Amino acid sequence: VRVSQGWAGSQYGMMAIPRIGHEVIVSFLNGDPDQPIVTGRTYHASNKAPYTLPDNKTKTVLRSETHQGEGFNELSFEDQAAQEKIYLHAQKDYEALVLNDATSHIKHDSHLTVDNDRFSHIKNNQHLTVEGESREAVQGNRTLIINGSLHVKSGQVWVNEAGDEIHIKAGQKVVIEAGSEITVKAGGSFVKVDPAGVHLSGAGVNLNSGGSAGNGSGFSGDLPLLPGELELQKSPAPPQTISYQALLRSEEARMPAVKVCPLAGDA
Protein backbone atom coordinates (compact mmCIF):
# COMPACT_ATOMS: atom_id res chain seq x y z
CA VAL A 1 0.00 0.00 0.00
CA ARG A 2 1.41 3.35 -0.98
CA VAL A 3 1.82 5.98 1.75
CA SER A 4 1.43 9.72 1.24
CA GLN A 5 4.64 11.57 2.16
CA GLY A 6 5.36 15.23 2.70
CA TRP A 7 7.61 15.30 -0.36
CA ALA A 8 8.17 12.62 -3.00
CA GLY A 9 10.55 12.95 -5.95
CA SER A 10 12.77 10.56 -7.87
CA GLN A 11 15.07 9.23 -5.09
CA TYR A 12 14.61 12.33 -2.94
CA GLY A 13 11.97 13.63 -0.57
CA MET A 14 10.58 12.49 2.79
CA MET A 15 9.89 8.94 3.97
CA ALA A 16 8.10 7.80 7.11
CA ILE A 17 6.66 4.28 6.87
CA PRO A 18 3.79 3.43 9.25
CA ARG A 19 4.60 0.68 11.74
CA ILE A 20 2.51 -2.05 13.34
CA GLY A 21 -0.02 -0.51 15.69
CA HIS A 22 -0.21 2.88 13.98
CA GLU A 23 -3.64 4.24 13.16
CA VAL A 24 -3.75 5.42 9.54
CA ILE A 25 -6.30 7.02 7.26
CA VAL A 26 -6.81 5.11 4.00
CA SER A 27 -8.28 6.58 0.84
CA PHE A 28 -8.88 5.02 -2.57
CA LEU A 29 -7.80 6.56 -5.87
CA ASN A 30 -10.90 7.42 -7.90
CA GLY A 31 -12.90 5.40 -5.38
CA ASP A 32 -11.30 2.18 -6.60
CA PRO A 33 -10.92 -0.31 -3.69
CA ASP A 34 -8.02 -1.94 -5.57
CA GLN A 35 -5.98 1.25 -5.32
CA PRO A 36 -5.70 2.10 -1.59
CA ILE A 37 -3.35 4.78 -0.38
CA VAL A 38 -2.48 5.92 3.16
CA THR A 39 -3.22 9.65 3.29
CA GLY A 40 -2.79 10.35 7.00
CA ARG A 41 -1.98 9.09 10.50
CA THR A 42 -3.55 9.95 13.85
CA TYR A 43 -2.79 9.52 17.55
CA HIS A 44 -5.33 7.80 19.78
CA ALA A 45 -5.74 6.59 23.37
CA SER A 46 -3.05 3.89 23.01
CA ASN A 47 -0.65 5.71 20.67
CA LYS A 48 -0.13 9.02 22.42
CA ALA A 49 1.83 12.04 21.22
CA PRO A 50 5.57 12.20 22.10
CA TYR A 51 4.87 14.98 24.64
CA THR A 52 1.83 15.49 26.83
CA LEU A 53 -0.85 17.89 25.63
CA PRO A 54 -1.82 20.66 26.10
CA ASP A 55 1.28 21.22 28.30
CA ASN A 56 3.58 21.08 25.26
CA LYS A 57 1.29 22.68 22.69
CA THR A 58 4.12 24.95 21.49
CA LYS A 59 6.41 22.04 20.53
CA THR A 60 6.89 20.75 17.00
CA VAL A 61 8.36 17.26 17.18
CA LEU A 62 9.85 14.68 14.85
CA ARG A 63 10.61 11.62 16.98
CA SER A 64 11.26 8.07 15.82
CA GLU A 65 11.42 4.84 17.82
CA THR A 66 14.25 2.32 17.82
CA HIS A 67 13.26 -0.79 15.88
CA GLN A 68 13.63 -3.99 17.92
CA GLY A 69 15.14 -2.09 20.83
CA GLU A 70 14.67 0.78 23.24
CA GLY A 71 15.43 4.39 22.38
CA PHE A 72 14.58 7.10 19.90
CA ASN A 73 15.94 9.80 17.61
CA GLU A 74 14.40 13.24 17.84
CA LEU A 75 14.40 16.69 16.30
CA SER A 76 12.09 19.08 18.13
CA PHE A 77 11.35 22.81 18.18
CA GLU A 78 10.11 24.79 21.18
CA ASP A 79 8.34 27.99 20.11
CA GLN A 80 7.17 29.37 23.45
CA ALA A 81 8.21 33.02 23.73
CA ALA A 82 11.53 33.47 25.61
CA GLN A 83 11.97 29.66 25.65
CA GLU A 84 12.67 29.01 21.96
CA LYS A 85 14.95 26.02 21.43
CA ILE A 86 15.96 23.44 18.84
CA TYR A 87 16.69 20.02 20.36
CA LEU A 88 18.47 17.14 18.61
CA HIS A 89 18.76 13.67 20.14
CA ALA A 90 20.70 10.82 18.49
CA GLN A 91 20.17 7.45 20.16
CA LYS A 92 23.54 6.17 18.93
CA ASP A 93 25.69 7.90 16.28
CA TYR A 94 25.46 11.39 14.79
CA GLU A 95 27.08 12.08 11.43
CA ALA A 96 27.20 15.24 9.33
CA LEU A 97 28.68 15.70 5.85
CA VAL A 98 29.27 19.21 4.47
CA LEU A 99 30.60 19.30 0.91
CA ASN A 100 31.73 22.93 1.13
CA ASP A 101 31.85 25.49 3.98
CA ALA A 102 30.30 25.27 7.46
CA THR A 103 29.74 28.46 9.48
CA SER A 104 28.49 28.84 13.06
CA HIS A 105 28.01 32.05 15.01
CA ILE A 106 27.14 31.64 18.70
CA LYS A 107 26.10 34.91 20.33
CA HIS A 108 26.68 33.70 23.90
CA ASP A 109 28.44 30.70 25.50
CA SER A 110 29.36 27.37 23.92
CA HIS A 111 29.79 24.18 26.01
CA LEU A 112 31.20 20.86 24.78
CA THR A 113 31.62 17.67 26.83
CA VAL A 114 33.10 14.48 25.34
CA ASP A 115 32.88 11.46 27.66
CA ASN A 116 35.54 9.48 25.77
CA ASP A 117 38.17 10.35 23.11
CA ARG A 118 38.11 13.21 20.61
CA PHE A 119 39.98 13.24 17.29
CA SER A 120 40.43 16.18 14.90
CA HIS A 121 42.25 16.34 11.57
CA ILE A 122 42.74 19.69 9.80
CA LYS A 123 44.32 19.11 6.40
CA ASN A 124 45.32 22.72 5.80
CA ASN A 125 45.68 25.71 8.16
CA GLN A 126 44.10 26.47 11.54
CA HIS A 127 43.57 30.00 12.88
CA LEU A 128 42.51 30.66 16.47
CA THR A 129 42.07 34.10 18.03
CA VAL A 130 41.19 34.51 21.73
CA GLU A 131 40.46 38.07 22.79
CA GLY A 132 40.28 37.21 26.51
CA GLU A 133 41.99 34.46 28.52
CA SER A 134 42.90 30.96 27.29
CA ARG A 135 43.18 28.19 29.87
CA GLU A 136 44.05 24.53 29.33
CA ALA A 137 44.39 21.73 31.90
CA VAL A 138 45.75 18.27 30.98
CA GLN A 139 45.64 15.53 33.64
CA GLY A 140 47.96 13.17 31.74
CA ASN A 141 50.77 13.73 29.23
CA ARG A 142 50.78 16.32 26.45
CA THR A 143 52.84 16.02 23.26
CA LEU A 144 53.42 18.85 20.77
CA ILE A 145 55.25 18.00 17.53
CA ILE A 146 56.05 20.82 15.08
CA ASN A 147 57.88 19.96 11.88
CA GLY A 148 58.53 23.63 11.10
CA SER A 149 59.42 26.45 13.49
CA LEU A 150 57.85 27.36 16.84
CA HIS A 151 57.50 30.99 17.84
CA VAL A 152 56.18 32.00 21.28
CA LYS A 153 55.93 35.64 22.34
CA SER A 154 54.79 36.86 25.75
CA GLY A 155 54.03 40.50 26.37
CA GLN A 156 54.98 40.32 30.06
CA VAL A 157 56.00 37.20 32.02
CA TRP A 158 56.63 33.66 30.73
CA VAL A 159 56.93 30.98 33.45
CA ASN A 160 57.74 27.30 32.91
CA GLU A 161 57.70 25.02 35.95
CA ALA A 162 58.32 21.27 36.07
CA GLY A 163 58.04 19.04 39.10
CA ASP A 164 61.13 17.01 38.16
CA GLU A 165 63.09 18.08 35.07
CA ILE A 166 63.27 20.55 32.19
CA HIS A 167 65.39 19.45 29.24
CA ILE A 168 66.24 21.87 26.42
CA LYS A 169 68.17 20.49 23.46
CA ALA A 170 69.16 22.04 20.12
CA GLY A 171 70.89 20.50 17.13
CA GLN A 172 73.21 23.48 16.61
CA LYS A 173 73.09 26.17 19.28
CA VAL A 174 71.15 27.52 22.24
CA VAL A 175 71.11 31.28 22.83
CA ILE A 176 69.67 32.75 26.04
CA GLU A 177 69.54 36.53 25.97
CA ALA A 178 68.31 39.03 28.54
CA GLY A 179 68.33 42.82 28.67
CA SER A 180 69.75 43.09 32.21
CA GLU A 181 70.25 39.78 34.00
CA ILE A 182 70.58 36.01 33.57
CA THR A 183 70.78 33.71 36.58
CA VAL A 184 71.41 29.96 36.70
CA LYS A 185 70.77 28.55 40.15
CA ALA A 186 71.06 25.03 41.58
CA GLY A 187 70.86 24.34 45.29
CA GLY A 188 72.93 26.97 47.07
CA SER A 189 75.14 27.72 44.05
CA PHE A 190 74.43 30.12 41.22
CA VAL A 191 75.87 31.91 38.21
CA LYS A 192 74.62 35.42 37.65
CA VAL A 193 75.35 37.60 34.62
CA ASP A 194 74.42 41.27 34.77
CA PRO A 195 75.93 44.61 33.67
CA ALA A 196 78.28 44.54 36.66
CA GLY A 197 79.91 41.30 35.51
CA VAL A 198 79.76 37.54 35.97
CA HIS A 199 79.17 36.32 39.51
CA LEU A 200 79.81 32.73 40.61
CA SER A 201 78.91 31.52 44.06
CA GLY A 202 79.10 28.00 45.49
CA ALA A 203 80.78 25.78 48.05
CA GLY A 204 83.54 25.31 45.53
CA VAL A 205 84.29 26.48 42.00
CA ASN A 206 86.04 23.78 39.96
CA LEU A 207 87.57 24.51 36.57
CA ASN A 208 88.88 21.67 34.38
CA SER A 209 88.73 19.32 37.35
CA GLY A 210 87.10 16.35 35.61
CA GLY A 211 83.58 15.07 36.15
CA SER A 212 80.83 14.94 33.51
CA ALA A 213 77.81 16.95 32.43
CA GLY A 214 74.30 15.90 33.39
CA ASN A 215 71.95 14.35 30.84
CA GLY A 216 68.30 15.09 30.13
CA SER A 217 65.54 12.56 29.56
CA GLY A 218 65.19 13.29 25.83
CA PHE A 219 62.03 13.38 23.71
CA SER A 220 59.56 10.53 24.18
CA GLY A 221 56.25 11.98 22.96
CA ASP A 222 53.55 10.07 21.06
CA LEU A 223 52.11 10.91 17.66
CA PRO A 224 48.40 11.75 17.57
CA LEU A 225 45.82 9.39 16.08
CA LEU A 226 43.72 10.42 13.09
CA PRO A 227 39.92 10.55 13.33
CA GLY A 228 37.77 7.88 11.72
CA GLU A 229 36.44 8.54 8.25
CA LEU A 230 32.76 9.25 7.66
CA GLU A 231 31.01 6.41 5.87
CA LEU A 232 29.27 7.94 2.88
CA GLN A 233 25.73 6.91 2.09
CA LYS A 234 25.46 4.94 -1.16
CA SER A 235 22.81 6.13 -3.59
CA PRO A 236 20.60 3.45 -5.19
CA ALA A 237 20.59 2.88 -8.93
CA PRO A 238 18.49 5.38 -10.91
CA PRO A 239 14.88 4.13 -11.24
CA GLN A 240 13.28 3.34 -14.56
CA THR A 241 11.43 6.40 -15.81
CA ILE A 242 7.67 6.07 -16.37
CA SER A 243 6.52 8.10 -19.37
CA TYR A 244 3.70 10.60 -19.19
CA GLN A 245 1.74 8.59 -21.81
CA ALA A 246 1.97 5.49 -19.62
CA LEU A 247 0.55 7.43 -16.71
CA LEU A 248 -2.36 8.63 -18.86
CA ARG A 249 -3.11 5.10 -20.08
CA SER A 250 -2.97 3.81 -16.53
CA GLU A 251 -5.39 6.50 -15.37
CA GLU A 252 -7.84 5.75 -18.20
CA ALA A 253 -7.76 2.02 -17.49
CA ARG A 254 -7.59 2.53 -13.73
CA MET A 255 -4.66 0.14 -13.62
CA PRO A 256 -1.37 0.54 -11.77
CA ALA A 257 1.40 2.18 -13.79
CA VAL A 258 3.94 -0.29 -12.39
CA LYS A 259 4.03 -4.06 -12.46
CA VAL A 260 1.84 -5.72 -9.82
CA CYS A 261 3.66 -7.90 -7.30
CA PRO A 262 3.17 -11.60 -8.21
CA LEU A 263 2.43 -12.36 -4.54
CA ALA A 264 -0.36 -9.78 -4.35
CA GLY A 265 -3.06 -12.46 -4.75
CA ASP A 266 -1.77 -14.62 -1.89
CA ALA A 267 -2.56 -14.09 1.74
CATH of the domain at 36: 2.40.50.230
Q: Report the percentage of the chain scoring pLDDT > 70.
A: 88
pLDDT band at 146 (very low <50, low <70, confident <90, very high): very high
86 found inside a domain:
yes
Residue whose C-alpha is closest to residue 84's, from 58, 48, 116: 58
Positive/negative CA dihedral, 21, 22, 25, 28 = negative
Quick check: is 106 in a domain? no
Q: Tell me the C-alpha distance between 220 and 2, whole Å.
A: 64
pTM surpassing 0.75?
Answer: no
Q: Are residues 83 and 43 in the same domain?
A: no
Q: Which residues lie across from 60 on neighbouring strands?
A: 77
Asked whether residue 254 is assigned to any structural domain, the reply reads: no
pLDDT confidence of residue 198: 94
Q: Containing domain of residue 15, as a range?
A: 1-48
Q: Select the more confidently predicted residue: 228 or 88.
A: 88
Residues 9 and 43 in one domain: yes
- Return the beta strands (E) in the chain as ranges: 2-3, 8-9, 12-13, 23-28, 36-42, 59-63, 74-78, 85-89, 182-186, 189-194, 197-201
Do residues 63 and 42 share a domain?
no
Say if 148 falls within a structural domain: no
Residues 10 and 41 in one domain: yes
Q: What is the structure's pLDDT at 225?
A: 84
Number of domains in the chain: 2
Do the domain assignments include residue 160? no
Mean pLDDT of the chain: 88
- The confidence score (pLDDT) of residue 214 equals 83
